[in-house]
Structure 1
Amino acid sequence: MSELSVERRMWTLFEPVHAVTYFAADGGAAFEAAGLRGFWRRYFAGRVAPLGAVGAGPVVAAFFGFAPGMVERALPDIWTRITPSAALDARRAGAHVALEAVLDGLPIDEAADLLEAAAREIDRPGRILGSANADLEWPEEPVDRLWQAATILREHRGDGHVAALLTAGVDGCESLVWRCGLGGLREGMQPARGWSDDEWDAAAGRLRERGWLAADGSATIAGEEAYAEVEAVTDRLAGRPWRKLGPDVTERCATLLEPIAARIWPLLPADNPIPLVQGQTAR
Protein backbone atom coordinates (compact mmCIF):
# COMPACT_ATOMS: atom_id res chain seq x y z
CA MET A 1 0.00 0.00 0.00
CA SER A 2 1.35 3.41 -0.89
CA GLU A 3 2.01 5.89 1.88
CA LEU A 4 -0.90 8.18 2.74
CA SER A 5 -0.65 11.81 1.75
CA VAL A 6 -0.52 14.31 4.60
CA GLU A 7 -4.04 15.46 3.78
CA ARG A 8 -5.47 11.94 3.70
CA ARG A 9 -3.72 10.96 6.91
CA MET A 10 -5.09 13.99 8.74
CA TRP A 11 -8.60 13.26 7.47
CA THR A 12 -8.49 9.73 8.90
CA LEU A 13 -7.64 11.27 12.29
CA PHE A 14 -10.12 14.16 12.52
CA GLU A 15 -13.10 12.58 10.75
CA PRO A 16 -13.93 10.23 13.69
CA VAL A 17 -14.04 13.25 16.03
CA HIS A 18 -16.80 14.78 13.92
CA ALA A 19 -18.66 11.51 13.28
CA VAL A 20 -19.74 11.04 16.92
CA THR A 21 -22.46 13.57 16.04
CA TYR A 22 -24.22 10.95 13.95
CA PHE A 23 -23.33 7.64 15.56
CA ALA A 24 -22.72 8.08 19.28
CA ALA A 25 -25.81 7.39 21.38
CA ASP A 26 -25.35 10.73 23.12
CA GLY A 27 -25.57 12.50 19.75
CA GLY A 28 -28.95 10.95 19.04
CA ALA A 29 -30.16 11.62 22.58
CA ALA A 30 -29.36 15.33 22.28
CA PHE A 31 -31.47 15.66 19.14
CA GLU A 32 -34.31 13.66 20.67
CA ALA A 33 -34.24 15.95 23.71
CA ALA A 34 -34.62 18.84 21.27
CA GLY A 35 -37.67 17.16 19.73
CA LEU A 36 -36.18 15.61 16.60
CA ARG A 37 -36.35 11.85 16.12
CA GLY A 38 -34.85 9.65 13.42
CA PHE A 39 -31.29 9.25 12.16
CA TRP A 40 -31.71 11.00 8.83
CA ARG A 41 -33.69 13.89 10.27
CA ARG A 42 -30.92 14.69 12.72
CA TYR A 43 -28.28 14.06 10.06
CA PHE A 44 -29.80 16.64 7.75
CA ALA A 45 -30.65 19.05 10.56
CA GLY A 46 -27.17 18.91 12.04
CA ARG A 47 -25.24 19.23 8.78
CA VAL A 48 -27.50 21.83 7.22
CA ALA A 49 -28.02 24.03 10.29
CA PRO A 50 -24.95 26.26 9.67
CA LEU A 51 -26.59 27.32 6.39
CA GLY A 52 -29.81 28.37 8.12
CA ALA A 53 -33.36 27.27 7.31
CA VAL A 54 -32.66 26.57 3.64
CA GLY A 55 -34.74 24.42 1.35
CA ALA A 56 -33.62 21.41 -0.65
CA GLY A 57 -31.83 23.24 -3.49
CA PRO A 58 -28.58 24.29 -1.77
CA VAL A 59 -28.39 20.94 0.00
CA VAL A 60 -28.76 18.91 -3.19
CA ALA A 61 -25.79 20.94 -4.48
CA ALA A 62 -23.64 20.72 -1.35
CA PHE A 63 -24.34 17.10 -0.36
CA PHE A 64 -23.93 15.93 -4.00
CA GLY A 65 -24.17 12.16 -3.51
CA PHE A 66 -27.70 12.25 -2.08
CA ALA A 67 -30.67 11.71 -4.38
CA PRO A 68 -32.63 14.96 -4.77
CA GLY A 69 -35.82 13.15 -3.76
CA MET A 70 -34.30 12.11 -0.43
CA VAL A 71 -33.17 15.67 0.28
CA GLU A 72 -36.60 17.04 -0.68
CA ARG A 73 -38.29 14.69 1.78
CA ALA A 74 -36.12 16.09 4.57
CA LEU A 75 -36.13 19.76 3.65
CA PRO A 76 -37.72 22.10 4.44
CA ASP A 77 -39.83 19.76 6.64
CA ILE A 78 -37.17 19.44 9.36
CA TRP A 79 -37.40 23.19 10.03
CA THR A 80 -41.01 22.67 11.16
CA ARG A 81 -39.64 20.30 13.82
CA ILE A 82 -36.46 22.08 14.95
CA THR A 83 -34.85 25.45 14.31
CA PRO A 84 -31.32 25.72 12.90
CA SER A 85 -30.22 27.32 16.18
CA ALA A 86 -31.61 24.41 18.21
CA ALA A 87 -30.01 21.93 15.81
CA LEU A 88 -26.62 23.62 16.27
CA ASP A 89 -27.04 23.43 20.04
CA ALA A 90 -28.09 19.77 19.88
CA ARG A 91 -25.21 18.64 17.71
CA ARG A 92 -22.67 20.38 19.93
CA ALA A 93 -24.26 19.11 23.14
CA GLY A 94 -24.34 15.52 21.92
CA ALA A 95 -20.78 15.63 20.66
CA HIS A 96 -19.59 17.18 23.92
CA VAL A 97 -21.10 14.45 26.10
CA ALA A 98 -19.87 11.65 23.83
CA LEU A 99 -16.34 12.97 23.47
CA GLU A 100 -15.96 13.99 27.10
CA ALA A 101 -16.84 10.47 28.20
CA VAL A 102 -14.65 8.58 25.73
CA LEU A 103 -11.67 10.92 26.05
CA ASP A 104 -11.75 11.07 29.85
CA GLY A 105 -8.20 11.17 31.20
CA LEU A 106 -6.64 11.91 27.82
CA PRO A 107 -5.02 15.36 27.45
CA ILE A 108 -6.69 17.14 24.54
CA ASP A 109 -5.89 20.83 25.03
CA GLU A 110 -2.93 20.94 22.66
CA ALA A 111 -4.70 18.85 20.05
CA ALA A 112 -7.66 21.23 20.21
CA ASP A 113 -5.33 24.23 19.85
CA LEU A 114 -3.55 22.81 16.81
CA LEU A 115 -6.67 21.54 15.08
CA GLU A 116 -8.33 24.91 15.62
CA ALA A 117 -5.28 26.63 14.15
CA ALA A 118 -5.60 24.41 11.08
CA ALA A 119 -9.35 25.01 10.77
CA ARG A 120 -8.84 28.77 10.85
CA GLU A 121 -6.75 28.44 7.67
CA ILE A 122 -9.29 26.80 5.36
CA ASP A 123 -9.95 28.17 1.89
CA ARG A 124 -13.34 29.92 1.90
CA PRO A 125 -14.24 30.45 -1.80
CA GLY A 126 -16.29 27.58 -3.19
CA ARG A 127 -16.45 25.80 0.18
CA ILE A 128 -20.07 26.26 1.20
CA LEU A 129 -20.22 23.81 4.11
CA GLY A 130 -16.70 24.40 5.35
CA SER A 131 -17.16 28.16 5.24
CA ALA A 132 -20.61 28.06 6.89
CA ASN A 133 -19.20 26.08 9.81
CA ALA A 134 -16.19 28.37 10.01
CA ASP A 135 -18.57 31.33 10.50
CA LEU A 136 -19.90 29.88 13.75
CA GLU A 137 -18.66 31.26 17.05
CA TRP A 138 -15.78 29.31 18.53
CA PRO A 139 -16.55 27.63 21.86
CA GLU A 140 -14.20 27.80 24.83
CA GLU A 141 -14.09 24.21 26.12
CA PRO A 142 -11.23 22.18 24.57
CA VAL A 143 -13.50 19.24 23.73
CA ASP A 144 -15.91 21.58 21.93
CA ARG A 145 -13.10 23.33 20.05
CA LEU A 146 -11.70 19.96 19.01
CA TRP A 147 -15.07 18.92 17.61
CA GLN A 148 -15.73 22.22 15.87
CA ALA A 149 -12.29 22.25 14.25
CA ALA A 150 -12.78 18.67 13.04
CA THR A 151 -16.18 19.61 11.63
CA ILE A 152 -14.84 22.61 9.72
CA LEU A 153 -11.96 20.61 8.30
CA ARG A 154 -14.08 17.64 7.23
CA GLU A 155 -16.66 19.85 5.52
CA HIS A 156 -13.86 21.83 3.85
CA ARG A 157 -12.41 18.59 2.52
CA GLY A 158 -15.85 17.39 1.45
CA ASP A 159 -16.48 20.61 -0.47
CA GLY A 160 -13.22 20.02 -2.33
CA HIS A 161 -14.16 16.41 -3.00
CA VAL A 162 -17.37 17.56 -4.68
CA ALA A 163 -15.34 19.92 -6.85
CA ALA A 164 -13.00 17.06 -7.80
CA LEU A 165 -15.93 14.84 -8.77
CA LEU A 166 -17.45 17.60 -10.87
CA THR A 167 -14.13 18.03 -12.63
CA ALA A 168 -14.19 14.31 -13.41
CA GLY A 169 -17.58 14.80 -15.05
CA VAL A 170 -19.71 12.55 -12.86
CA ASP A 171 -23.03 13.20 -11.16
CA GLY A 172 -24.03 12.27 -7.62
CA CYS A 173 -25.32 8.79 -8.36
CA GLU A 174 -22.40 7.97 -10.65
CA SER A 175 -19.96 8.97 -7.91
CA LEU A 176 -21.45 6.35 -5.57
CA VAL A 177 -21.67 3.60 -8.19
CA TRP A 178 -18.04 4.32 -9.01
CA ARG A 179 -17.01 4.00 -5.36
CA CYS A 180 -18.88 0.71 -5.09
CA GLY A 181 -16.99 -0.50 -8.13
CA LEU A 182 -13.81 0.14 -6.16
CA GLY A 183 -14.95 -1.94 -3.20
CA GLY A 184 -17.97 -0.26 -1.63
CA LEU A 185 -21.21 -2.12 -0.97
CA ARG A 186 -24.25 -1.21 -3.04
CA GLU A 187 -26.65 -2.62 -0.46
CA GLY A 188 -25.39 -0.04 2.02
CA MET A 189 -24.63 2.94 -0.18
CA GLN A 190 -27.68 3.00 -2.45
CA PRO A 191 -30.44 3.14 0.19
CA ALA A 192 -28.41 5.43 2.42
CA ARG A 193 -28.34 8.03 -0.35
CA GLY A 194 -31.87 7.46 -1.60
CA TRP A 195 -31.27 6.36 -5.21
CA SER A 196 -33.75 4.02 -6.95
CA ASP A 197 -32.66 0.82 -8.70
CA ASP A 198 -33.39 2.40 -12.07
CA GLU A 199 -31.28 5.47 -11.26
CA TRP A 200 -28.44 3.31 -9.95
CA ASP A 201 -28.43 0.96 -12.94
CA ALA A 202 -28.57 3.87 -15.39
CA ALA A 203 -25.56 5.47 -13.68
CA ALA A 204 -23.69 2.16 -13.91
CA GLY A 205 -24.46 2.04 -17.62
CA ARG A 206 -23.04 5.51 -18.17
CA LEU A 207 -19.86 4.54 -16.32
CA ARG A 208 -19.52 1.40 -18.44
CA GLU A 209 -19.83 3.53 -21.55
CA ARG A 210 -16.91 5.64 -20.31
CA GLY A 211 -14.87 2.50 -19.77
CA TRP A 212 -14.70 2.97 -16.00
CA LEU A 213 -16.80 -0.03 -14.96
CA ALA A 214 -16.70 -3.64 -16.15
CA ALA A 215 -19.82 -5.67 -16.87
CA ASP A 216 -19.76 -7.12 -13.33
CA GLY A 217 -19.78 -3.62 -11.79
CA SER A 218 -16.14 -3.60 -10.73
CA ALA A 219 -13.89 -0.70 -11.69
CA THR A 220 -11.66 -1.14 -14.70
CA ILE A 221 -8.02 -0.09 -14.64
CA ALA A 222 -9.07 3.15 -16.35
CA GLY A 223 -11.75 3.64 -13.70
CA GLU A 224 -9.26 3.06 -10.90
CA GLU A 225 -6.82 5.53 -12.41
CA ALA A 226 -9.51 8.16 -12.88
CA TYR A 227 -10.68 7.79 -9.29
CA ALA A 228 -7.12 8.00 -8.01
CA GLU A 229 -6.92 11.37 -9.76
CA VAL A 230 -10.13 12.48 -8.03
CA GLU A 231 -8.59 11.58 -4.69
CA ALA A 232 -5.36 13.37 -5.57
CA VAL A 233 -7.30 16.53 -6.47
CA THR A 234 -9.29 16.20 -3.24
CA ASP A 235 -6.02 16.05 -1.31
CA ARG A 236 -4.59 19.08 -3.07
CA LEU A 237 -7.72 21.10 -2.40
CA ALA A 238 -7.57 20.14 1.28
CA GLY A 239 -3.93 21.11 1.68
CA ARG A 240 -3.94 24.77 2.74
CA PRO A 241 -4.47 24.24 6.51
CA TRP A 242 -1.56 21.82 6.73
CA ARG A 243 0.73 23.95 4.58
CA LYS A 244 0.01 26.87 6.89
CA LEU A 245 0.81 24.80 9.98
CA GLY A 246 3.97 23.45 8.39
CA PRO A 247 5.26 19.87 8.46
CA ASP A 248 6.54 19.83 12.03
CA VAL A 249 3.38 21.24 13.62
CA THR A 250 1.19 19.08 11.38
CA GLU A 251 3.10 15.99 12.49
CA ARG A 252 2.67 17.05 16.11
CA CYS A 253 -1.06 17.47 15.52
CA ALA A 254 -1.27 14.00 13.96
CA THR A 255 0.61 12.45 16.88
CA LEU A 256 -1.81 14.04 19.34
CA LEU A 257 -4.88 12.98 17.33
CA GLU A 258 -3.88 9.33 17.00
CA PRO A 259 -4.85 8.27 20.56
CA ILE A 260 -7.97 10.45 20.35
CA ALA A 261 -9.15 8.75 17.16
CA ALA A 262 -8.32 5.34 18.62
CA ARG A 263 -10.58 6.05 21.60
CA ILE A 264 -13.45 7.17 19.35
CA TRP A 265 -13.49 4.36 16.77
CA PRO A 266 -15.38 1.88 19.03
CA LEU A 267 -18.30 4.36 19.12
CA LEU A 268 -18.74 4.18 15.35
CA PRO A 269 -20.66 1.21 13.89
CA ALA A 270 -18.86 -0.76 11.20
CA ASP A 271 -21.94 -0.62 8.95
CA ASN A 272 -22.48 3.13 9.24
CA PRO A 273 -24.04 4.83 6.18
CA ILE A 274 -21.34 7.48 5.60
CA PRO A 275 -19.54 4.97 5.09
CA LEU A 276 -16.65 5.54 7.48
CA VAL A 277 -14.31 2.61 8.08
CA GLN A 278 -11.27 2.44 10.34
CA GLY A 279 -8.16 2.42 8.19
CA GLN A 280 -10.09 3.74 5.17
CA THR A 281 -7.99 5.84 2.79
CA ALA A 282 -10.53 7.23 0.32
CA ARG A 283 -11.98 10.74 0.47
Structure 2
Amino acid sequence: MIEFLVLGPLECRSANHPVNVTGTLQRALLATLLAAEGIPVSVDSLVAELWGDSPPPHWENALQAHISRLRRRIDAVAGDRSTRLIVEHSGYRLQTEDGTVDAKVFMRKLDNARLLGTTDPGTAADVLRDALSLWRGKAFGLVAQGSLCRTVAQRYETARVVALETLFDLQLRGGRHTDIIPMLSELVEAPTLNERFCEQLMIALYRSGQQARALASYFRMRDRLDDELGVEPTITLRNLFNAILNHHPALRLGADHAVLRA
Protein backbone atom coordinates (compact mmCIF):
# COMPACT_ATOMS: atom_id res chain seq x y z
CA MET A 1 0.00 0.00 0.00
CA ILE A 2 1.26 3.48 -0.90
CA GLU A 3 0.45 6.66 0.98
CA PHE A 4 0.37 9.95 -0.91
CA LEU A 5 1.08 13.15 0.99
CA VAL A 6 0.14 16.45 -0.65
CA LEU A 7 -0.48 18.72 2.37
CA GLY A 8 3.07 19.98 2.16
CA PRO A 9 5.95 18.79 -0.04
CA LEU A 10 4.73 16.01 -2.35
CA GLU A 11 5.72 12.66 -0.85
CA CYS A 12 4.94 8.98 -1.38
CA ARG A 13 5.45 6.31 1.25
CA SER A 14 5.19 2.55 1.36
CA ALA A 15 5.37 0.87 4.76
CA ASN A 16 6.61 4.21 6.15
CA HIS A 17 9.55 4.22 3.73
CA PRO A 18 9.90 6.96 1.08
CA VAL A 19 9.05 6.12 -2.51
CA ASN A 20 11.19 8.30 -4.74
CA VAL A 21 9.38 10.01 -7.60
CA THR A 22 12.04 12.19 -9.18
CA GLY A 23 12.05 14.73 -11.99
CA THR A 24 9.95 17.85 -12.31
CA LEU A 25 7.55 16.40 -14.87
CA GLN A 26 7.12 13.09 -13.05
CA ARG A 27 6.21 14.91 -9.87
CA ALA A 28 3.92 17.31 -11.72
CA LEU A 29 2.17 14.32 -13.34
CA LEU A 30 1.67 12.63 -9.98
CA ALA A 31 0.44 15.86 -8.39
CA THR A 32 -2.08 16.36 -11.19
CA LEU A 33 -3.48 12.85 -10.88
CA LEU A 34 -3.78 13.24 -7.10
CA ALA A 35 -5.42 16.65 -7.48
CA ALA A 36 -8.08 15.02 -9.66
CA GLU A 37 -9.10 12.89 -6.64
CA GLY A 38 -9.87 9.73 -8.60
CA ILE A 39 -11.53 11.46 -11.57
CA PRO A 40 -9.98 10.70 -14.97
CA VAL A 41 -7.77 13.47 -16.35
CA SER A 42 -7.91 13.93 -20.11
CA VAL A 43 -4.80 13.87 -22.27
CA ASP A 44 -5.31 17.53 -23.18
CA SER A 45 -5.50 18.48 -19.50
CA LEU A 46 -2.37 16.51 -18.68
CA VAL A 47 -0.46 18.19 -21.48
CA ALA A 48 -1.59 21.61 -20.23
CA GLU A 49 -0.63 20.77 -16.66
CA LEU A 50 2.83 19.49 -17.59
CA TRP A 51 3.85 21.88 -20.36
CA GLY A 52 1.36 24.74 -20.40
CA ASP A 53 1.08 26.36 -23.83
CA SER A 54 4.46 25.03 -25.02
CA PRO A 55 4.37 21.22 -25.28
CA PRO A 56 7.40 19.53 -26.89
CA PRO A 57 7.24 18.59 -30.61
CA HIS A 58 6.50 14.93 -29.87
CA TRP A 59 4.42 15.44 -26.76
CA GLU A 60 2.34 12.29 -27.34
CA ASN A 61 5.41 10.08 -26.95
CA ALA A 62 6.76 12.18 -24.10
CA LEU A 63 3.49 11.98 -22.16
CA GLN A 64 3.20 8.24 -22.67
CA ALA A 65 6.78 7.78 -21.51
CA HIS A 66 6.13 9.73 -18.31
CA ILE A 67 2.91 7.83 -17.62
CA SER A 68 4.62 4.47 -18.17
CA ARG A 69 7.52 5.43 -15.93
CA LEU A 70 5.21 6.57 -13.13
CA ARG A 71 3.06 3.44 -13.45
CA ARG A 72 6.12 1.19 -13.19
CA ARG A 73 7.31 3.06 -10.12
CA ILE A 74 3.94 2.71 -8.41
CA ASP A 75 3.48 -0.93 -9.42
CA ALA A 76 6.92 -1.80 -8.10
CA VAL A 77 5.98 -0.90 -4.55
CA ALA A 78 2.22 -1.58 -4.52
CA GLY A 79 2.61 -5.20 -3.52
CA ASP A 80 -1.04 -5.50 -2.51
CA ARG A 81 -2.09 -4.28 -5.97
CA SER A 82 -4.32 -1.65 -4.36
CA THR A 83 -3.00 1.37 -6.22
CA ARG A 84 -3.03 1.75 -9.97
CA LEU A 85 -2.55 4.32 -12.66
CA ILE A 86 -5.48 3.37 -14.84
CA VAL A 87 -6.11 4.17 -18.50
CA GLU A 88 -9.74 4.97 -19.34
CA HIS A 89 -11.46 6.21 -22.46
CA SER A 90 -11.75 9.67 -20.90
CA GLY A 91 -8.13 9.86 -19.75
CA TYR A 92 -5.89 8.63 -16.94
CA ARG A 93 -6.94 8.01 -13.35
CA LEU A 94 -4.93 7.28 -10.23
CA GLN A 95 -6.83 4.79 -8.09
CA THR A 96 -5.93 5.00 -4.41
CA GLU A 97 -7.03 3.03 -1.40
CA ASP A 98 -9.21 4.69 1.23
CA GLY A 99 -7.17 6.56 3.83
CA THR A 100 -3.97 6.72 1.77
CA VAL A 101 -4.18 10.36 0.58
CA ASP A 102 -3.66 12.85 3.42
CA ALA A 103 -5.81 15.55 1.78
CA LYS A 104 -8.82 13.23 1.58
CA VAL A 105 -8.31 12.21 5.21
CA PHE A 106 -8.10 15.87 6.22
CA MET A 107 -11.29 16.85 4.39
CA ARG A 108 -13.20 13.91 5.87
CA LYS A 109 -12.05 14.80 9.40
CA LEU A 110 -13.04 18.43 8.86
CA ASP A 111 -16.55 17.43 7.77
CA ASN A 112 -16.84 15.11 10.76
CA ALA A 113 -15.67 17.80 13.20
CA ARG A 114 -18.15 20.35 11.87
CA LEU A 115 -20.98 17.86 12.43
CA LEU A 116 -19.79 17.16 15.98
CA GLY A 117 -19.28 20.82 16.83
CA THR A 118 -22.78 21.45 18.17
CA THR A 119 -23.21 18.18 20.10
CA ASP A 120 -19.70 17.23 21.22
CA PRO A 121 -17.36 20.23 21.01
CA GLY A 122 -14.56 18.51 22.92
CA THR A 123 -14.39 15.61 20.49
CA ALA A 124 -14.78 17.99 17.55
CA ALA A 125 -11.76 19.96 18.74
CA ASP A 126 -9.70 16.77 19.06
CA VAL A 127 -10.68 15.72 15.53
CA LEU A 128 -9.68 19.13 14.17
CA ARG A 129 -6.30 19.05 15.92
CA ASP A 130 -5.70 15.61 14.46
CA ALA A 131 -6.72 16.82 11.00
CA LEU A 132 -4.52 19.92 11.15
CA SER A 133 -1.52 17.82 12.23
CA LEU A 134 -1.52 16.33 8.71
CA TRP A 135 -0.30 19.63 7.28
CA ARG A 136 3.46 19.96 6.70
CA GLY A 137 3.52 23.11 4.56
CA LYS A 138 1.85 24.54 1.46
CA ALA A 139 -0.38 22.08 -0.40
CA PHE A 140 1.64 20.29 -3.13
CA GLY A 141 4.77 22.08 -1.91
CA LEU A 142 7.15 23.27 -4.59
CA VAL A 143 5.83 21.04 -7.37
CA ALA A 144 5.40 22.96 -10.62
CA GLN A 145 1.64 23.40 -10.75
CA GLY A 146 -0.81 23.80 -13.60
CA SER A 147 -4.29 25.25 -13.24
CA LEU A 148 -5.85 22.06 -11.83
CA CYS A 149 -3.23 21.70 -9.09
CA ARG A 150 -3.43 25.39 -8.23
CA THR A 151 -7.21 25.27 -7.95
CA VAL A 152 -7.22 22.17 -5.76
CA ALA A 153 -4.33 23.46 -3.64
CA GLN A 154 -6.30 26.65 -2.99
CA ARG A 155 -9.34 24.59 -1.99
CA TYR A 156 -7.26 22.64 0.51
CA GLU A 157 -5.67 25.82 1.86
CA THR A 158 -9.12 27.39 2.29
CA ALA A 159 -10.32 24.29 4.10
CA ARG A 160 -7.32 24.53 6.43
CA VAL A 161 -8.29 28.10 7.33
CA VAL A 162 -11.87 26.94 8.00
CA ALA A 163 -10.51 24.17 10.24
CA LEU A 164 -8.42 26.66 12.20
CA GLU A 165 -11.30 29.11 12.56
CA THR A 166 -13.60 26.31 13.73
CA LEU A 167 -11.04 25.00 16.20
CA PHE A 168 -10.42 28.45 17.69
CA ASP A 169 -14.18 28.98 18.12
CA LEU A 170 -14.46 25.65 19.92
CA GLN A 171 -11.55 26.51 22.18
CA LEU A 172 -13.06 29.90 23.00
CA ARG A 173 -16.32 28.15 23.89
CA GLY A 174 -14.40 25.70 26.05
CA GLY A 175 -12.59 28.38 28.04
CA ARG A 176 -9.19 27.75 26.45
CA HIS A 177 -8.70 31.34 25.30
CA THR A 178 -5.19 31.71 26.70
CA ASP A 179 -4.02 28.61 24.80
CA ILE A 180 -4.82 30.07 21.40
CA ILE A 181 -3.36 33.56 21.80
CA PRO A 182 0.18 32.70 20.54
CA MET A 183 -1.00 30.98 17.34
CA LEU A 184 -3.68 33.57 16.64
CA SER A 185 -1.17 36.38 17.16
CA GLU A 186 1.05 34.82 14.50
CA LEU A 187 -1.81 34.19 12.08
CA VAL A 188 -3.14 37.75 12.41
CA GLU A 189 0.25 39.06 11.27
CA ALA A 190 0.27 36.80 8.17
CA PRO A 191 -0.03 38.40 4.71
CA THR A 192 -3.55 37.03 4.18
CA LEU A 193 -5.27 39.63 6.41
CA ASN A 194 -7.83 37.25 7.91
CA GLU A 195 -10.28 39.36 9.92
CA ARG A 196 -11.90 36.29 11.49
CA PHE A 197 -8.60 35.43 13.17
CA CYS A 198 -8.38 39.01 14.38
CA GLU A 199 -11.88 38.74 15.89
CA GLN A 200 -10.95 35.54 17.70
CA LEU A 201 -7.68 37.02 18.96
CA MET A 202 -9.48 40.08 20.29
CA ILE A 203 -11.95 37.90 22.20
CA ALA A 204 -9.19 35.67 23.56
CA LEU A 205 -7.20 38.69 24.73
CA TYR A 206 -10.22 40.33 26.31
CA ARG A 207 -11.11 37.18 28.23
CA SER A 208 -7.49 36.98 29.38
CA GLY A 209 -7.75 40.43 30.93
CA GLN A 210 -5.80 42.13 28.13
CA GLN A 211 -8.32 44.65 26.84
CA ALA A 212 -5.64 47.09 25.71
CA ARG A 213 -3.97 44.42 23.55
CA ALA A 214 -7.35 43.41 22.14
CA LEU A 215 -8.01 47.00 21.03
CA ALA A 216 -4.47 47.34 19.70
CA SER A 217 -5.04 44.24 17.55
CA TYR A 218 -8.06 45.93 16.01
CA PHE A 219 -6.12 49.12 15.25
CA ARG A 220 -3.29 47.10 13.71
CA MET A 221 -5.70 45.20 11.42
CA ARG A 222 -7.55 48.41 10.52
CA ASP A 223 -4.31 50.12 9.52
CA ARG A 224 -3.11 47.14 7.47
CA LEU A 225 -6.43 46.89 5.63
CA ASP A 226 -6.22 50.58 4.79
CA ASP A 227 -2.55 50.51 3.77
CA GLU A 228 -2.59 47.25 1.79
CA LEU A 229 -6.12 47.08 0.37
CA GLY A 230 -7.61 50.54 0.83
CA VAL A 231 -10.65 49.18 2.69
CA GLU A 232 -12.14 49.45 6.17
CA PRO A 233 -12.65 46.54 8.57
CA THR A 234 -15.86 44.58 8.17
CA ILE A 235 -18.92 45.61 10.16
CA THR A 236 -18.43 42.48 12.28
CA LEU A 237 -14.93 43.50 13.33
CA ARG A 238 -16.04 47.08 14.01
CA ASN A 239 -18.97 45.83 16.10
CA LEU A 240 -16.60 43.63 18.09
CA PHE A 241 -14.38 46.64 18.75
CA ASN A 242 -17.38 48.52 20.15
CA ALA A 243 -18.46 45.47 22.14
CA ILE A 244 -15.07 45.39 23.85
CA LEU A 245 -15.27 49.08 24.65
CA ASN A 246 -18.71 48.54 26.20
CA HIS A 247 -17.92 45.19 27.89
CA HIS A 248 -20.66 43.31 26.05
CA PRO A 249 -22.02 40.34 28.06
CA ALA A 250 -21.24 37.96 25.17
CA LEU A 251 -17.54 38.58 25.79
CA ARG A 252 -17.67 37.13 29.28
CA LEU A 253 -16.07 33.79 29.97
CA GLY A 254 -18.58 31.04 29.23
CA ALA A 255 -20.86 33.28 27.14
CA ASP A 256 -21.61 32.55 23.49
CA HIS A 257 -19.38 34.97 21.56
CA ALA A 258 -20.98 33.81 18.29
CA VAL A 259 -23.90 36.19 18.84
CA LEU A 260 -21.50 39.05 18.13
CA ARG A 261 -21.23 37.83 14.54
CA ALA A 262 -24.98 37.78 13.95
Give the TM-score of the pair, scaled to structure 1. Answer: 0.28
Larger RCO (alpha carbons 8 Å, 6+ apart): 1
* Higher normalized strand content (fraction of residues): 2
User: Which is greater in Rg?
Assistant: 2
